[in-house]
Amino acid sequence: MSVAFVFPGQGSQAVGMGKSLAANFAAARQVFEEVDTALDSKLSAVIFEGPADTLTLTENAQPALMAVSLATFRVLEKEAGLKLEGDAQFVAGHSLGEYSALAAAGAFTVADAARLLRTRGQAMQKAVPVGAGAMAALIGLEFDAASAIAADAAQGEVCQAANDNGAGQVVVSGNKAAVERAVEIAKTRGAKRAMLLPVSAPFHCALMQPAADVMADALAKVTLKPPSVPVVANVLAKPVREPTEIVRALVAQVTGTVRWRESVGYMAGAGVTNFYEVGAGKVLSGLIKRLADGASASAIGSPEDIASFKAGRNT
């Protein structure tokens, strides 16, 4: 059995996530305390109690999702005896989840991950004035068709494929008018659905270059270690282990496409048969079930999930 652990991205957040873990496990509480200390704020209170609109702010949602993922992961290590090196072939994460994957693999500390994601969230929000950008989901189209639609819709503005989630789900991002044109074009080219998404900024497109510059500076100030297992990078859809290569991939990720379909394909092609989504929600495990024929995918985010994972290791 070959295993990969994957970590969710923005959109999976929900008020109350991780609360039962913190109530039941000291290892989880310690992670939330580390994040609160690193950010000099009680982010854990927002995670557990809300309000939802505060949690959803990009600068909060990004470190919050990482905190829940790492709290879950630390409990797996403590309670289920998980040792990433030896137990897993790869780790990967969707967008901000790549930071969670890197922290789980020891490339940088939870505190550094929290500070980087706070900076990343703020920089991505500031890169484009509110209302100037947009993102849209094109459902029922393969990546090449969606990319062609984005190119045709650009008309001198920015419009590009931001997320290749697979299973006929591609997200485009860019200037608002261009993305709106992409939605209309997609409806004439066989999309089952094409709709604008309720996001606060056009992530993963060229408009995010100011944020990429901020992250290049921020990452230059952080000490990275080689991860204990290879991390499959979003923009490369292949593993990275060397710190300078990791930094390049994280900077490129801000403006580049999240190549999730290809990343899952790489891991499955390398023999991974069991995927575990660690943290909030079940978005990635749902996608993986449609992307990797014959592979199992399950989400771990509650004390019950931890117990089930532990029982499975002991059989």
Q: How far apart are CA 242 and CA 102, in angstroms?
A: 12
Over residues 84-135, the pLDDT tens digits come to 999 999 999 999 999 999 999 999 999 999 999 999 999 999 999 988 999 9
Reading the block at residue 276, the tokens are: 């575990």
Cβ-contact 136, 193 below 8 angstroms: no
Over residues 235-244, the pLDDT tens digits come to 999 999 999 9
pTM, two decimal places: 0.96
Instruction: Tell me the HSE value of 218 on the side-chain side, using a 13 A CA sphere.
Output: 20
Mean pLDDT within 52-63: 94
Pairing of strands 159-166, 169-175: antiparallel
Cβ-contact 99, 93 below 8 angstroms: yes
Angstrom CA distances, 138 to 16, 188, 207, 282, stand at: 30, 12, 20, 20
Residue 296 pLDDT level (bands cut at 50, 70, 90)? very high
pLDDT at 314 over 90: no
Mean pLDDT within 236-263: 98
Over residues 133-162, the pLDDT tens digits come to 999 999 999 999 999 999 999 999 999 999
Catalytic residue among 12, 44, 69, 95: 95
Catalytic residue among 100, 204, 263, 285: 204
Mean pLDDT within 67-92: 97
Task: For residue 51, report the phi and psi dihedrals to the nearest 5 degrees.
Answer: -75, 160
Active site residue 263: no
Residues 6+ apart with CB under 8 A from 162: 135, 171, 172, 173, 202, 203, 204, 205, 257, 258
What string of H, E and C letters represents the secondary structure of 232-272? EECCCCEEECCHHHHHHHHHHHHHCCECHHHHHHHHHHCCC
Mean pLDDT within 16-26: 98
Mean pLDDT within 62-81: 97
Task: For residue 105, report the phi and psi dihedrals to the nearest 5 degrees.
Answer: -90, 5
Mean pLDDT within 236-254: 97
Active site residue 94: no
Q: How far apart are CA 91 and CA 111, in angstroms?
A: 19
| Mean per-residue pLDDT of the chain | 96
User: Please, is 245 exposed, middle or buried when counting C-beta atoms within 10 Å of its C-beta (0-12, 13-18, 19+)?
Assistant: middle
Reading the block at residue 233, the tokens are: 């990078």
